[in-house]
Amino acid sequence: MRIALFSTCIVDAMYPRVARATVEILERLGHEVVFPPGQTCCSQMHVNSGYLDDAHAIVKNHVKAFSSWDYDVAVAPSASCVVSLQHQQPMVCRRAGDEALAEAAEEVAGRTFELSKLLIDVLGVTDAAAQLGSYFPETVTFHSSCHGMRHMKLGSRQSDLVRTVEGVQFTELPGLEECCGFGGTFSFKNADTSGAMVDSKIRNIERTGARVCAGGDVSCLMNIGGALSREQIPVSTLHFAQILASTRENRLQVSGPVALAETGRGRA
């Protein structure tokens, strides 16, 4: 299968390890991964901030970047960005009176899958240890991001996959249905409220006793990891793709509060 990777802007620019892990998993399964180079962002930041006119140009870019390539499905290591393609992009175009682009956006979005959904529902991966050789001997809890859980009805697909990784000791996160407080520009426009929300989240994470908090959206993980780092709580945040990509031979080393990123406190 030929799979087009939509890395998402934040993974591309801030957390490239997550995109590399995604590529690694898909290539391990024998698929060809391509990266349409014109891609940037899904436009969600602009849409959610009310800048819908500006979002139009970004949608146009995304649609052009992906419709000019030939692939079977596209994948993104983010439910939030995929939901934005599916629900926001057509709305942005229609609001701008651009019906042709709305339909083209729907076409691209209709072939773009969130990673766990692609793995389970399309590629039939239900046992990461057996099918991907995934190995990660750590205590892990999991934050289910709102957009995957609610808009996409992913349920526990992501964490279920993590639980099939050899060596993972899994602990359910209390308050798993509660938002971490990120919310894009909400995180700084309503900084105090957002800060109170992420504080509840990290206290719940702490209660699990896990060393790793995994998730499926780096935006939430950046928020959670940033708060864990500030409070000096020794829990690392990781994208589940990184855990699936980890093997006995090439084991992911976790050594600090923000293992999601290349570097960080505790890894110097």
Partner 1 sequence: MSTVSLGMPGIRAYGSGNIIAAESFPDRAPRELANPTLRGNLDMAMHKIRTKRAIVVGEKDDWQQLRTAGSEIKQNVLANLPELLERFEAEFTARGGHVHWARDADEANRIVLDLIRAEGVTEVNKIKSMATQETGLNEHLEEHGITAIETDLAEAIVQLGHDTPSHILVPAIHRNRTEVRDIFRREIPGVSPDLSDDPAELAEASRVRLREMFFRNRVAISGANFGIAETGTLTIVESEGNGRMCLTMPDTLITLMGIEKVLPTFADLEVFLQLLPRSSTGERMNPYTSMWSGVTPGDGPQNLHVILLDNGRTEVLRDEVGRQALHCIRCSACLNVCPVFEKTGGHAYGSVYPGPIGAILSPQLTGIHAGKNSSLPYASSLCGACYDVCPVKINIPEVLVHLRAEDVDAKHGKAEDAPGGAKPARRSAPDQMDAIMLAAKAMFASGTRMGLAERGLPAGKLVAGRDQVISTLPGLIGGWTKYRDIDAPPSEAFRHWWKKNRPKADRRRPDGTAVDVLALIEENRGAAQRLHERFTGADGQGPSSADPAPEDGGAAAEGGAPSAPAVDDRGEDGDLYSRLLAVEREQIQREEATGRTLADYARGTEQDGEA
Structure tokens that stand for 163 in this block: 């639980």
Torsion of CA 47, 51, 54, 59, to 10 degrees: 10
Structure tokens that stand for 17 in this block: 């390890």
- Contact between 98 and partner 1 by CB under 8 A: the answer reads no
- Contact between 249 and partner 1 by CB under 8 A: the answer reads no
Burial class (CB in 10 A: 0-12, 13-18, 19+), 99: exposed
- Contact between 238 and partner 1 by CB under 8 A: the answer reads no
- Contact between 40 and partner 1 by CB under 8 A: the answer reads yes
How many whole angstroms separate alpha carbon 89 and alpha carbon 105? 6
How many whole angstroms separate alpha carbon 103 and alpha carbon 222? 33
- Contact between 216 and partner 1 by CB under 8 A: the answer reads no
Check: CB of residue 116 under 8 Å from CB of residue 184. no
Tell the smallest beta-carbon distance from residue 95 to partner 1 (Å): 8
- Contact between 94 and partner 1 by CB under 8 A: the answer reads no
- Contact between 172 and partner 1 by CB under 8 A: the answer reads yes
How many whole angstroms separate alpha carbon 39 and alpha carbon 55? 14
Query: What residues pair up with 29 in beta bridges, in sequence order?
Result: none
Residues that contact partner 1, how many (by CB under 8 A): 139
- Contact between 12 and partner 1 by CB under 8 A: the answer reads yes
Structure tokens that stand for 64 in this block: 């052009």
Check: CB of residue 163 under 8 Å from CB of residue 134. no
How many whole angstroms separate alpha carbon 205 and alpha carbon 118? 28
- Contact between 26 and partner 1 by CB under 8 A: the answer reads no
| Residue choice 98, 195, 211, 233 for contact with partner 1 (CB under 8 A) | 195
- Contact between 234 and partner 1 by CB under 8 A: the answer reads no
- Contact between 190 and partner 1 by CB under 8 A: the answer reads yes
- Contact between 251 and partner 1 by CB under 8 A: the answer reads no
Tell the smallest beta-carbon distance from residue 186 to partner 1 (Å): 5
Tell the smallest beta-carbon distance from residue 46 to partner 1 (Å): 6
Point out which span in 50-58, 97-105, 239-247 binds partner 1 (CB under 8 A): 50-58
- Contact between 99 and partner 1 by CB under 8 A: the answer reads no
How far out from the chain centre does Cα 147 lie? 10
Nearer to partner 1, 28 or 265 (CB): 265
Point out which span in 96-104, 115-123, 238-246 binds partner 1 (CB under 8 A): 115-123
How many whole angstroms separate alpha carbon 191 and alpha carbon 152? 27
Nearer to partner 1, 23 or 254 (CB): 23
| Residue choice 99, 155, 251, 255 for contact with partner 1 (CB under 8 A) | 155
Structure tokens that stand for 161 in this block: 């996959």
Nearer to partner 1, 100 or 217 (CB): 217
Tell the smallest beta-carbon distance from residue 179 to partner 1 (Å): 4
How many whole angstroms separate alpha carbon 24 and alpha carbon 244? 9
